[in-house]
Amino acid sequence: MRIVFMGPPGAGKGTQAALLSSALGIPHISTGDIFRANVTQGTPLGKEAQSYMDAGEYVPDGITNAMVRDRLTHDDARPGFILDGYPRTVEQVAELDAMLRSAGTKIDCVIELTVDVDAVVARLVRRSAEQGRTDDTEDVLRRRLEVYAEQTAPLIELYQSRNLLVQVDGLGEIEAVTAAILLAVNS
Catalytic center residues: 13, 88, 127, 133, 144
Minimum gap (Å) between residue 48 Cβ and ligand AMP: 11
Residue closer to ligand AMP (CB basis): 44 or 104: 44
* Residues 2, 107 contacting (CB under 8 angstroms): yes
Minimum gap (Å) between residue 47 Cβ and ligand AMP: 14
Which of 43, 51, 63, 60 is CA-nearest to residue 134?
A: 51
Residue closer to ligand AMP (CB basis): 143 or 184: 143
- Output the residue with the shortest Cβ distance to ligand AMP: 32
Minimum gap (Å) between residue 45 Cβ and ligand AMP: 12
* Residues 82, 3 contacting (CB under 8 angstroms): yes
DSSP helix/strand/coil, 11? coil
Q: Which residues of this chain interact with ligand AMP, rule CB under 6 A?
A: 9, 31-32, 35, 52-53, 58-59, 64, 85-86, 88, 92, 135, 144
Residue closer to ligand AMP (CB basis): 63 or 171: 63
- Sign of the Cα torsion 97, 170, 10, 12 reads negative
Helix 44-55 vs helix 138-147: angle between axes, to the nearest 10 degrees?
Answer: 100
